[in-house]
Amino acid sequence: MNMPRISHFAVALILGAVIARAQTPAGEASRGKDLYDKKYLCSACHGFSGQNGVGARLVPMKLTQAGFMAYVRHPHDTPTGMPPYTAKVMPDQELADIYAYIKSLPDSVKKAKDIPVLNDILNNQK
Amino acid sequence: MASSSKKTNSVGRRGFLRGAAAGAAALAAKPPEAANAQPPQQNVIANATATTPTQAALNVDVGNGRPIPGINGIALSPGSDYMVDVLKQFDFEYVVANPGTSFAGLHESLINYNNNTNPEFLTACHEESAVSMAHGYAKIEGKPMLVLLHADVGIQHASMAIFNAYADRVPIYMIAGNWGHAVQAHNAQDMALMIRDMIKWDDEPRSLAGFADAAQKAYTIAMMPPMGPTLLVVDEDLQEMTNKEVNLRVPKFKPIQPPSGDLGSVREAAKLLVNAENPVIITGRSARTANGMTLLVELAELLQAPVSGGDRMNFPLTHPLSGLGIPGAQADVTLALEVNNAPLSRNGGRTINISSTILSVKNNYQDVGDRYAAADIDMAADAEATLPALIEECRKLVTSDRKRAFEERGKKLAEAHRQAKLKDIELAAIGWDASPVSLNRLYGELWPFIKNEDWSMVSWDGFMGGWPRRLWACDKHYHYIGAQGAGGMGYGAGAAVGAALANKKHGRISINVQTDGDLNYAPAVLWTAAHHKAPLLTIMHNNRAYHQEVMRLQRQATSMNRGADRIHIGTKLWNPEIDYASIAKGYGMYAEGPISDPKDLAAAYKRGIERVKNGEPALIDVVTQPR
């Protein structure tokens, strides 16, 4: 019997997360900022804010560090545009630093009705 | 020994100019008669050696690139005056050029004989800017600007912009000079050859009578859908020498109407559309004029069919029928209007295609007709010209039963449209306070300053999340003019200036959200905007990168498992960061920035808009999120 593809992915992600959990180093946000903004240009798709851009919204970060690291290593298991970063090109420590930095970014999501300019546009649609 | 001799005898250009200056100074001290008897150039040439510049080169240095025309140096009624009489029929508002010797005759006739009015001369600092300006202008006015190009060098400078206009089906009317006497390399046996594959038509008339015929043909072909650039190549002597052609008159010009679809096909299409349960309308470049939008609204409302697509304004985006349709509903009939490569409907749906593209096909470029997909009903015709008949035929077929069904469909479509809009507005709140500035905020903050003005968005919203079309009330044909056509960068700033000059007489404020990479191709068009007082607010989308390539290279490097830590090489515009406000100020424009804190936007916009409302351009440099 063929299992749905999503089930394969879910199993892989959970296994990856379990394996990775034992190996996840502690991250340092200040180092992560340089890696995110300048060295690897994660900001290219996810914005300097982690909220803007063509890539997935990273803030608020909903993955655990282990889950995040597993995803970055194997993004092709999901239908996103995220390219894979192996440990060869992005060591675990750096990935942990990036995770710590993303977690430190402010989650300043507002509702449109709370922003006067957008609320005005919103009212014109109703 | 040889080098020593060369050194001793060499004059060189700089040395020669110093000598000429000294000679001129000495002559200035002599009585006028003596000066006339011994012109400074001749004096220097007499003492020159074999390495001295030639007489032709010297003539160029002093601005005389050709023999003196006419009798005693005076050309009576030069050919270029007649050319201007012919060109006047086309009601050009502007002529734009980077000045060049090869069209000096026309230039002089336009500013003196024609008193620099209709057309008014616009100074461009690069031919790419000149053609891009004409491109943006045509998208607002629906007619061409006259562009003068300096021989083969000017054509080559202009070629990228010409390709953009060709792919964007935009009329550009170009004249290039040829067979000048100044620089041999500026003459060509076949001047148009290098761009023939990306223009609709060209000619090099051999007489003034021939010019009149060719000029009318060039205009007609440029304006006939699919519209596009045309080029006339004009002999320098034909412009400048006395007009000696007898019985020369200016032939009357009468525009030709674009072709509409044949009535049989129109009736068949109407039958399909009226009987469809879920018809959809997809547009490409269907509204050539404001009336094209009005007609499409009429058809969509008659059928209660959703309208989507198009990289420029074909349909009001505020209209309840604007959108992709009822979620989950499968289109059973698709009407494609001037869509490149009209899509065949999936799942057995029928397709009606009305497009002029097939009427003018070139082999080389892949987006123009040659990947054309056959439809169930195919009309090789102009969509805008066909819509009146299609509306009429549909109207005849709508029964009261169908009308009730349409009304029910319309309610669902209106709700789908409303939900899509609400979702967009909610998405705009994400990252609202981010610094650098998010693009949703860049556009959102501007809306209060323009919503009560007559405004025109004269730049592409690609690379920017499409936010103006998602947030602003775009419901007029000039509210958004779309992209480059062929995707060639360097178009944006020039097109914005041209469009702003078109909007000027209508009292409209033009908005250009300008990508940094695009501006850096030919930034001197900012000077053109300042010099000609284009009412244009330019807001920099300054993400300090060729950002599309950052993302592309990132993907490439990681897929090679070689890492992304070097992708800034060749893609980022940093170290040093470019100061666009200083650049704009240097070109004589009011400017502010860089602004990274979104809280500073509103005040800067207010100041910028005030400048523009006073009839001058302004630039605000905003440091932005990458996308």
For residue range B383-395, list pLDDT tens digits in order. Answer: 999 999 999 999 9
Residue A48 to residue B426, Cβ atoms within 8 A:
no
- Please check the confidence at residue A122 and state whether its pLDDT lies above 80: yes
Query: Model-level pTM?
Result: 0.88
B422 contacts A125? CB cut-off 8 A: yes
Closest by Cα among B397, B411, B127, B73 to B242: B73
pLDDT of the residue at B43? 40
No. of helices (H) and no. of strands (E), chain A: 6, 0
Taking any CB pair shorter than 8 Å as contact, residues of chain B touching chain A are: 418, 421-422, 425-426, 428-436, 438-440, 444-445, 447-448, 471, 473, 545, 547, 550-551, 554-555, 557-559, 561-565, 567-568, 625-627
- Burial profile A90-122: b = 16 or more Cβ within 10 angstroms, e = fewer: beeebbbbbbbbbbebeeeeeebeebebbeebb
Torsion from C-alpha of B429, B434, B436, B439, nearest 10 degrees: -10
Question: Which residues in chain B are contacts of A115 at CB distance < 8 A?
Answer: 429, 432, 444
Which pLDDT belongs to residue B275? 98
**Which of B522, B491, B476, B451 lies closest to B140, judged by CA?**
B476
* Higher pLDDT pick, A24 / B191: B191
Structure tokens of B180? Answer: 């000048």
A125 interfacial to chain B (CB closer than 8 Å): yes
* Alpha carbon distance B218, B237 (integer Å): 21
Q: Does B418 contact A125 at a Cβ distance shorter than 8 Å?
A: yes
Q: What is the domain range of residue A11?
A: 5-125
Predicted pLDDT at B68: 53
Residue type, B515: T
Check whether A90 has a pLDDT greater than 50: yes
Tell if the CB–CB gap between A112 and B568 is shorter than 8 Å. Answer: no
Q: Are strands B333-337 and B307-308 parallel, antiparallel or unpaired?
A: unpaired
- Considering only alpha carbons, which residue of chain B is nearest residue A49? B434
What's residue B51's pLDDT? 62
Residue A95 forms beta bridges with which residues? none
Domain count, chain A: 1
Residues of chain B with pLDDT under 70: 1-73, 341-347, 363, 366-373
Question: Looking up tokens 């230039």, which residue turns up?
Answer: B107
CATH of the domain at A36: 1.10.760
Q: How many CB pairs under 8 A join A and B?
A: 120
> Is the separation of the CB atoms in B374 and B281 below 8 Å?
no
pLDDT reported for residue B243: 87
Which of A31, A125, A126 is the best substitution to test chain B (most B C-beta atoms within 10 A)? A125
Partners of residue B557 in chain A, C-beta under 8 Å:
89
pLDDT for A7 equals: 47
Angstroms from A58 CA to nearest CA on chain B: 11
pLDDT confidence band for A3 (50 / 70 / 90) = very low
